[in-house]
Amino acid sequence: MKDKREYVDRGVGSLLDGYCTTADLVAISRFYMNLNTGSDLRNRMSHFLCHACLLRGESARNMELPDIFSVEFLEHEGYTECRALVMIMEQGKTNQYGRREFGSCIRHRNVEVCPIGALGFYLFYRWGVQNEDIPNFLVPEEWYDIKVLKADKTKPLR
């Protein structure tokens, strides 16, 4: 109450002081990439999606393929189109009543910390390296239950 009465800057001691720098994020990305395993590609992707979209880990773990999509963003701005990755979230610790909430992000100018690039690397690993069957996206039954984050080829991450 004293700070409010004295009009103290409420941003001091908050996220406005800085969460982490781009150099910190690059170091995190390189850490995961240097470990050079599929689970580390998954963890890197989870880290950057959670960071960029302000997601809780539970929201990322519950995410299924039909919960993510892209939309055109900032139409007619710049030389190339800008697409946003959007995630639908209908459950979680802060959403226990099934409200439809959204998380979203756009590409980062530094490819090492781009959440969309991290998602692409991870899905390429799953479908191109691990040889997980690529679902037929024309048949909802074949892909609606597929978790984005998986513990292994058959189990969702818990």
Greater confidence (151 vs 130) lies with 130
User: Rounded to the nearest 5 degrees, what angle is found at the Cα of 30, between the Cα atoms of 24 and 36?
Assistant: 150
63-119 pLDDT, tens digit per residue, is: 999 999 999 877 777 778 888 999 988 766 666 676 787 889 999 999 999 999 999
Number of domains in the chain: 1
Q: Is residue 152 part of a domain?
A: no
3-state DSSP call for residue 84?
Answer: strand
Q: Is residue 158 part of a domain?
A: no
Q: Which domain holds residue 34?
A: 2-143
Which tokens go with 1? Answer: 């109450």
Q: What is the pTM of this model?
A: 0.80
Confidence of residue 25 (pLDDT cuts 50, 70, 90): very high
Q: Give the Cβ contact number of residue 27 at 10 Å.
A: 13
Q: What is the mean pLDDT of residues 106-133?
A: 94
Confidence of residue 19 (pLDDT cuts 50, 70, 90): confident
Residue 70 phi/psi, 5-degree rounding, is -120, 150
- What are 42-46's contacts with CB under 8 Å, separation 24+? 42/122, 42/149, 42/150, 42/157, 44/118, 44/121, 44/122, 45/115, 45/118, 45/119, 45/121, 45/122, 45/149, 46/149
Q: What pLDDT was estimated at residue 112?
A: 96
